[in-house]
Each structure stands twice: as structure tokens, then as C-alpha cells.
Amino acid sequence: MTKNLDQIHHIAIQVQDIDQSVDWYISNFDCELSYHDQTWALLKFQNISLALVLPNQHPPHFAVTRHDISSFGISIPHRDGTSSVYIKDPNGNNVEMLKLKE
């Protein structure tokens, strides 16, 4: 029997300029822009998405999707329609628990 494994939705890296970084990634890689505002952007690659975030707005992190994230805390809705809870692993790394849309 195969166990259903969690899925990593995206990895977030900090950048100094969202627009410049979006342009660079799109011109150098085959990816698509999924979301973009003044503080972050989401680029879709074939196997994972890459979030570009500003240092004063979002921490560097990776996001794991789950149907139920309530065991990790109270989820916060985001402007892109998603909802999540940020937690830390034992080493202090940020992990975003991202609720799957029903």
C-alpha cells in the first residue's frame, strides 16, 4: 500500500526588487507568473512554484499543502485567496502550512 505523501507547494526566497526578479526568472527559465503584487510574486515551474518575497514582508520558507492545518495553529487568510499557518522546525527554519482549497 502506498502512503499519500505531503506535497511541497513552493519555496520562498527573499529578493530586493520583485519586478526585477520576476523579469529575470521569466527571461532565464521556462516558468509562468501565477501571482504578482508589490511585496511578492509566485512563479510556477513544472514541478514546484517559487515565491519571490521582500525581506521586510515575508520570511524565507517552504510551503507544505494539507487539507487540514488546524493542528498547526490558527490559519491566516492571504490576499491571494490562500490560508496558512507559519511554524518553525527544530532548527528555526520557517515552514508554511498551506491549506488546500476545497
Q: What is the CATH number of the domain that holds 31?
A: 3.10.180.10
Per the CB < 8 A criterion, the answer to whether 86 and 59 are in contact is yes
Max mean pLDDT range (23-32, 67-76, 78-87): 23-32
More confident residue, 13 or 4: 13
Please determine, for residue 82, whether its predicted confidence score (pLDDT) is greater than 90: no
Read off the pLDDT band of 101 (50, 70, 90): confident
Domain that holds residue 70: 7-99
Residue 1 lies in a domain: no
Please determine, for residue 85, whether its predicted confidence score (pLDDT) is greater than 70: yes
Domain count, the chain: 1
Q: Mind listing the pLDDT tens digit for each residue in 12-71?
A: 999 999 999 999 999 999 999 999 999 999 999 999 999 999 999 889 999 999 989 999
Residue 2 lies in a domain: no
**SS3 helix, strand, coil % of the chain, rounded to 5?**
15, 40, 45
Residue 55 lies in a domain: yes
Closest-CA residue to 64 (of 5, 4, 7): 7
Burial class (CB in 10 A: 0-12, 13-18, 19+), 69: buried
Residue 43: CA count within 13 A, CB half-sphere: 21
| The pLDDT of residue 72 | 96
The structure's pTM equals 0.87
| The pLDDT of residue 102 | 61
